[in-house]
Amino acid sequence: MKPILEINHISKKFRIRHQLVPYLSLRDRIVDTLTFRRTTSSEEFWALNDISFNVNAGESIGIIGKNGAGKSTLLKILSKITLPSSGNIISRGRVASLLEVGTGFHPELTGRENIFLNGSILGMKSREIRSKFDEIVEFSGVENFLDTPLKHYSSGMQLRLAFAVAAFLEPEVLIIDEVLAVGDAAFQKKCIGKMDEVAKSGRTILFVSHNMNAVYSLCSRCIHISKGKIQDSGSTDEVIKGYLKGGSEQTHVRDYEKSNQLIGDDTATLLRARLMNKDGHTIEYIALDEPCAIEYVFRIHRAGLNPVPNIHLYTNKGECAFIGSIDPKGGFSSPGIYTATMWIPANLLNTGTYSAGLALSTLSPTIVHFYEQDAILFDVIEDMNKRETEWKNSLPGVVRPRLEWKIEKK
Amino acid sequence: MEYEIKPPGKFKINFAELWEFRELIYFFTWRDIKVKYKQTVLGAAWVILQPLLLVVLFSYTFSRLLSMETGTLEYPLFVFSGLLLWNIFSSGINSASNSMISNANIINKIYFPRLIIPISSIFSTLVDFTIQLGLFIIVLLIYGKYSSILPMILLLPISLVITLLTTFGLGSYLAALNVKYRDFRYIVPFMIQVLLFLTPIIYPVASINIPMFKIIFLLNPVATAIELLRSGINGTPPEWNLVLLAFTISLLFFLVGVAFFRKTEQYFADLA
């Protein structure tokens, strides 16, 4: 049997304009033309570079890679939203994408009306929507609000409704991008269950996610994209293992000094920051059972105050995981360059994406010398091969400590 | 079903695909109509009030104050018949030219033939038109013009086709331009205002003696479409050679507009 998708040497070029407006204005165009002046310079950027692979009917393929690796561009090309610059794709089935659920929802329309509108935008026939209407409503759990305008829904309800519509699409190839990043744990579980069901029903799935756990549980084959090229492909086990290992070699560091974006006041400025592993190497993500450290370097310009370094760690849902701080007891009273390192022990944070805000503040009188929000972003990842159970889904919670248990038989 | 995705190619309208997506045209049109008068106290009554208030305003200013002569046709009927087609043009252009921007969030995420968006935004103005036509017929009856109704209805399809082709061509052209240059958001309302005065809606063609205006009327398909409709109401014979010219020009508008739209459409998701 011929593959359902044949991707042959796909490349996509973007022209990056060095101009700070998000769209062209006619005036600029006219002025530029009249004065023979170029107010914009452009640079080519290959978001995808010669990507080829085949997808067989019934396969579930995971696509992983760092932010900006080109995963989303690939999916956009596969779903015909944007066209490739070169190469071609032969598709032998209806492709539907969940690049973002809830596309086309209108706040003024009711839940019922939005189900029809959204379903139709996603490519369902109205006959199809009518026949699945009850199931969709039941899955979403918004029965009582069907005739309420969507603008009065909570964001959670909107999301559930959106996913419910999308879940009942029946294309031959389903493209899923990061839908699991949203919703509460119970709903996420429901979604994974639904996708599992879809995968087992013999449909083809292309699944893009940063959630290694979800990729692991859904996909048999995996493709790792890095800088627009296929870095690795093969069985999910192997590719994820390579991806995790590769992670510890990649650099992830903020250098405010070099980029001339010094942050601070007349007492102290932030110079550099990084995430590192126990060997002192700069890393971008860390395994669940490995310790890591956030390190930042700052300069104290004048003596007299008693600043305290503190790190604010947030989840990607915006919950504060903790604020780590220490009292240096006058340690920074003399000017100079200091390095502050906070160690996060192994088996403390749960899997997920975290953002660290770096601060230096004096407590009395209260002065914040600098606070750099989202200075460091990193992932905590679990190597599924180390799980001894059949249960391969992600676990809820911000922390996942290994606590001491005692079990006694009476 | 097998298809190929490849780099931007040459221009072609895929009618089979548009037909495939006909339900989406329906849903977009339906959405635009539903949303249009949400959170207004009078709701759909605006469809009727809007032209009625204009007719009253124009009748007072031009007929009462300036005593403009419109031949056998009473001024209110004269101006109403003009506004009937003009409203399709003006609101069609207005909504079509903004349609790509206001649906950018959908365009960026889901594929469907992009032409559906300007098509459905013009379809939604047709619903308003149908209601206003009903109102116009009632007004004709009030004025006792019983014999005018049938000839008008017979000529209406031709007027409508000319108006729609022009509106759709210009609308999709502007929709595509608007994605690239947002300036058109400000240019379009002004342009419509200017065109209102260059079309014989509030004044009859006969009242103008400037040669340049005569040429503009000739080249303006909407002007001819309006005149055609009025000749039906008046019972005067239509000038068929002018109608043919207007039809040709409107077809040209349509083809150029759609070709430009199709050419630009391949970059919409990258630009919007």
Q: For the segment A19-76, what is each residue's pLDDT rounded down to a tens digit?
A: 545 556 677 667 666 666 555 566 778 889 999 999 998 888 999 887 678 888 888 8
Nearest Cβ partner for B31 among A87, A100, A117: A117
Taking residues B72-95, what's their average pLDDT? Answer: 91
Is B242 or A186 the better-scoring residue by pLDDT? B242
* Cβ contact A284:A275 at 8 Å: yes
* Cβ contact A379:A353 at 8 Å: yes
Highest mean pLDDT among A242-246, B9-13, B50-54: B50-54
Residue A16 binned pLDDT confidence (cut-offs 50, 70, 90): low
Q: DSSP letters of B6-51?
A: -S-------HHHHHHTHHHHHHHHHHHHHHHTTT-SSTTHHHHHHH
In eight-state DSSP terms, residue B112 is S
Cα(first)–Cα(last) distance of chain B, in Å?
Answer: 30
Both structure tokens of B195: 């065109």
Judge whether residue B178 has pLDDT over 80. Answer: yes
Q: What is the mean pLDDT of chain A?
A: 81
Mutate to test the interface with B, among A17, A23, A88, A125 (most CBs of B within 10 A): A23
Per-residue model confidence as pLDDT tens digits over B196-226: 988 888 888 877 788 888 888 888 999 999 9
- What pLDDT, on the 0 to 100 scale, is given for residue B46? 82
- What pLDDT, on the 0 to 100 scale, is given for residue B84? 92
Residue A249 binned pLDDT confidence (cut-offs 50, 70, 90): very low
Is A126 or B37 the better-scoring residue by pLDDT? A126
- The residue behind tokens 């239509």 is B238
Per-residue model confidence as pLDDT tens digits over B136-148: 999 999 988 888 8
Record: contact B6-A24, CB cut-off 8 A: no
Phi then psi for residue A174, to 5 deg, are: -110, 125
Phi then psi for residue A130, to 5 deg, are: -60, -40
Per-residue model confidence as pLDDT tens digits over A176-221: 876 555 556 666 667 777 777 777 777 888 888 776 767 877 888 9
Dihedral, CA of residue B138, residue B142, residue B148 and residue B152, to nearest 10: -20
- What pLDDT, on the 0 to 100 scale, is given for residue A316? 66
Judge whether residue B90 has pLDDT over 90. Answer: yes
Per-residue model confidence as pLDDT tens digits over A273-329: 999 999 988 887 888 889 999 999 999 988 878 888 999 998 866 678 999 988 767
Residue A244 binned pLDDT confidence (cut-offs 50, 70, 90): low
- What pLDDT, on the 0 to 100 scale, is given for residue A178? 63
Q: CA-CA distance, A34 to A90, in Å (whole number)?
A: 45
Q: CA-CA distance, B125 to B147, in Å (whole number)?
A: 28
Record: contact B183-A94, CB cut-off 8 A: no
In eight-state DSSP terms, residue B63 is I
User: By CA distance, what is B27's nearest residue in A?
Assistant: A117
- What pLDDT, on the 0 to 100 scale, is given for residue B222? 94
Both structure tokens of A283: 């890393």
Please count the CA atoms within 13 angstroms of the CA of B206 that sit on its side-chain side.
6
- What pLDDT, on the 0 to 100 scale, is given for residue A39? 54
Q: How many CB atoms lie within 10 A of CB B231?
A: 18
- Any CB–CB contact under 8 A between A117 and chain B? yes
Is B8 or B135 the better-scoring residue by pLDDT? B135
- Whole-model pTM: value is 0.71
Record: contact A89-B6, CB cut-off 8 A: yes
Q: Which amino acid is at A198?
A: V
- Any CB–CB contact under 8 A between A12 and chain B? no
Nearest Cβ partner for A82 among B105, B112, B269: B269
Per-residue model confidence as pLDDT tens digits over A78-110: 888 888 888 889 988 888 877 666 778 888 889
Q: Which of A121-135, A334-348, A391-405, B152-166 has the lowest mean pLDDT?
A: A391-405
Q: What is the mean pLDDT of chain B?
A: 87
Dihedral, CA of residue B229, residue B233, residue B239 and residue B243, to nearest 10: 10
- What pLDDT, on the 0 to 100 scale, is given for residue B5? 78
Per-residue model confidence as pLDDT tens digits over A347-393: 999 988 788 889 998 887 888 889 887 788 888 888 777 777 766 66
Record: contact B112-A121, CB cut-off 8 A: yes
* Cβ contact B160:B247 at 8 Å: no
Residue B169 binned pLDDT confidence (cut-offs 50, 70, 90): very high
Q: CA-CA distance, A199 to A204, in Å (whole number)?
A: 7
User: By CA distance, what is A83's nearest residue in B?
Assistant: B7
CA distance B52 to chain A (A): 27
Mutate to test the interface with A, among B1, B2, B4, B5 (most CBs of A within 10 A): B5
Judge whether residue B157 has pLDDT over 90. Answer: yes
Judge whether residue A251 has pLDDT over 50. Answer: no
Q: CA-CA distance, A333 to A336, in Å (whole number)?
A: 9
Residue A248 binned pLDDT confidence (cut-offs 50, 70, 90): very low
Taking residues B92-112, what's their average pLDDT? Answer: 88
- Any CB–CB contact under 8 A between A21 and chain B? no
Q: Is the backbone of residue A52 left (phi > 0), alpha (psi -120 to 50) or beta?
A: beta
- Any CB–CB contact under 8 A between A235 and chain B? no
A and B: number of Cβ contacts within 8 A: 102
* Cβ contact A287:A386 at 8 Å: no
Taking residues A3-13, what's their average pLDDT? Answer: 89
User: By CA distance, what is B30's nearest residue in A?
Assistant: A117
Residue A250 binned pLDDT confidence (cut-offs 50, 70, 90): very low
- The residue behind tokens 């008693």 is A306
Angle of helix B45-58 relative to helix B75-102, nearest 10 degrees, comes to 130
